[in-house]
Amino acid sequence: MKKTLLIGALALGASAALTAPSYAEDYFPIISKGFQHQFWQAVKAGAQEAAKADGVKITFEGPETEAMVDKQIDMLAAALAKKPQGLGFAALDSKAAIPLLKKAQEAKIPVIAFDSGVDSDIPLATCTTDNLKAAGVAADHMADLIGGEGEVAVVVHDQTSKTGQDRRDGFVNQMKAKHPKVTIVDIQYGGGDQLKSTEITKAILQAHPGIKGMFGANEGSIIGVLNGAKEMKKKIVIIGYDSGKQQKGAIADGSEAGAITQNPVGIGKCVVDSLAKALKGETLPKVIDTGFYWYDKANLTDPKVAAVLYD
């Protein structure tokens, strides 16, 4: 079945299902982009912490990988069928979920987006990192570390989510605007999968033997870059995004120059707190910036930075 037909069928199914008996008043399903990265476990921890503080019930789920757009749509349809009092949603595809979110809006179910927004004003708020700005900071550090000129490449998790688009564009646009002697020779998409991103990295390094640096735009992407460079025995400047045990270790041992960390626990808290406020009729800002830090070997143990890192 084509994707458009699938989405249409799910939207109709959700419309009928919204007449089903509702959960208790405090039920908020939180649907993330995946579960294969520790980032999402940290978001979940923050959401659970806020749920306890706010006295509400949540569920937290996501597809096995960030390439499973259709499975995430299934999860969204199933969550809406239970008539929740609110919904948290991190879209893998910024357009694919809109028909179902329209059904939520019609049923007066408040939606809070997180991490990745959607191409719609349906969400009352989006809890997110300023990914354009953060990736621009990564570009500045890359340019500085390679001496202001040379070839670099980018491995991104996808080109359908807002995080994928913004991290790619933030890096590319900053490099073009501020560092014109740095050439981005390739941009590839690995679905956030470590193994696929490793193979992509090896192919890039083979095609561009003079490359000086690579940027991995999420946890799975950067681990793939690290593994690919190690397998190819290439010494290049590597800059990442997010955290996790392997990436922290790579920064500590010098094989990765540094990375951007988001505030995943803060994102999770923001989603649940925003849903609780929405139920009380409070007005929310459309975008809630949850912040980011650049971290490297020099500030890896700084209390402010360590507080937003995870294993």
The answer to whether 270 touches 47, Cβ cutoff 8 Å, is no
User: Two tokens at 73?
Assistant: 């749509």
The answer to whether 238 touches 112, Cβ cutoff 8 Å, is no
Task: Give the separation between CA 242 and CA 293, rounded to whole angstroms.
Answer: 10
164-180 pLDDT, tens per residue?
A: 999 999 999 999 999 99
For 242-301, strand residue ranges (E) read 258-261, 287-289, 293-296
The answer to whether 29 touches 155, Cβ cutoff 8 Å, is no
- CATH superfamily, domain at 131-261: Response regulator (3.40.50.2300)
Looking only at the bridges linking them, the beta strands covering 237-241 and 213-216 are parallel
β partners of residue 88: 30, 112
Tell the residue number behind the tokens 């959401």, with chain if given.
Answer: 47
Fold type of domain 3-129+263-292: Rossmann fold (3.40.50)
Integer angstrom CA distances of residue 55 from 43, 58, 217, 274, 275: 18, 10, 35, 13, 12
46-55 pLDDT, tens per residue?
A: 999 999 999 9
pLDDT value of residue 14: 43
The pairs formed by 95-100 with CB atoms below 8 angstroms and a separation of 24 or more are 95/119, 95/160, 96/3, 96/7, 96/69, 96/160, 97/72, 97/73, 98/122, 99/7, 99/8, 99/10, 99/11, 100/7, 100/10, 100/11, 100/14, 100/73, 100/76
Q: Could you tell me where in the chain the CATH 3.40.50.2300 domains are found?
A: 3-129+263-292, 131-261
pTM score, two decimals? 0.86
Per-residue pLDDT of the chain (311 residues; tens, 9 = 90+): 434 444 444 444 444 444 333 444 569 999 999 987 889 999 999 999 999 999 999 999 999 998 899 999 999 999 999 999 999 999 999 899 999 999 999 999 999 999 988 999 999 999 999 999 999 999 999 999 999 999 999 999 999 999 999 999 999 999 999 999 999 999 999 999 999 999 999 999 999 999 999 999 999 999 999 999 999 999 999 999 999 999 999 999 999 999 999 999 999 999 999 999 999 999 999 999 999 999 999 999 999 999 999 98
pLDDT value of residue 35: 86
Closest CA to 61 of 32, 92, 23: 32
What are the helix and strand counts (H, E) for the chain?
A: 11, 12
What is the side-by-side order of every strand in the sheet holding 125-128? 57-61, 27-31, 87-89, 111-114, 125-128, 287-289
Q: How many residues in total does the chain contain? A: 311
